[in-house]
Amino acid sequence: MSVKQISVFIENKPGTMHELTKVLAENHIDMRALSLAETEGFGIVRILVDDVMETSSVLKDAGYIYQLTPVVVVAVPDEPGGLNKVLTVFTAAGINLNYMYAIPGKTTAYIIFRVEDVKLAEKELRQAGIHIADQEEISAL
């Protein structure tokens, strides 16, 4: 059910992000979401893409170090209280968020959650009647 996020290691210095986007662009990889976490020396670029297999092989050939990470992606209606509803479920179930980022949209936003127990999070969300996006839905965006 969960969506595969690709986490890529890059050095924290001028041009490294550009090198990565260049590789993706040259191989016609379409990104759906992107987030960058960094420390002084290095960074982790987290992306959702249209084609996970293809992107993996492109990154491998280009010599990148990356990892596929399961994330929970939730479609939230773009209205006040939308995100709050999801977080209420997580809090009630004692689910800890490692990090989150979003894909804004005109009527619907997609929020990407990284949690320890993806299965549990999905079960709780389903029980609360919240729609969870799958890879197909993300690819089709």
Partner 1 sequence: MERYYQPEIECASREEIIAIQNKKLKEQVKHVWDNVPYYRKKMEEAGVTPDDVQTIDDLKKLPFLSKSDLRDAYPYGLVGVPLKDCVRIQSTSGTTGKRVVAFYTKEDIDLWEDCCARAIVAAGGTNEDVCQVSYGYGLFTGGPGLNGGSHKVGCLTVPTSSGNTERQIMFIRDLNTTILCCTPSYAAYLGETMKEMGLSPEEIPLKAGIFGAEAWSEEMRHDIEKTLGIKAYDIYGLTELSGPGVAFECCAQSGMHINEDHFLAEIIDPNTGEPLPDGTKGELVFTSLDKKAFPLLRYRTRDVCMLTREKCPCGRTHVKMAKPMGRTDDMLIIRGVNVFPSQIETVLLNHGYPANYQILVDRVNNSDTLEVLVEMTPEMFTDDMGEITRRQKQLVDGLKSMLGIKAKVTLVSPKTITRSEGKAVRVIDKRKI
Report the interface residues with partner 1, using CB under 8 A: 5, 7, 9-11, 16, 37, 39, 41-42, 44, 46, 63-67, 69, 98, 114
Q: State the minimum distance, in angstroms, from the CB of residue 7 to partner 1.
A: 4
Q: How far is the CB of 11 from partner 1 (least distance, A)?
A: 6
Compare residues 32 and 114 and give the one whose CB is closer to partner 1: 114
Least CB distance from residue 113 to partner 1, whole Å? 13
Per-residue HEC secondary structure of the chain comes to CCEEEEEEEEECCCCHHHHHHHHHHHCCCCEEEEEEEECCCEEEEEEEECCHHHHHHHHHHCCCCEEEEEEEEEEEECCCCHHHHHHHHHHHCCCCEEEEEEECCCCEEEEEEEECCHHHHHHHHHHCCCCEECHHHHHCC
Distance in Å, CB of 16 to partner 1, minimum? 8
Nearer to partner 1, 65 or 92 (CB): 65
Nearer to partner 1, 19 or 30 (CB): 19
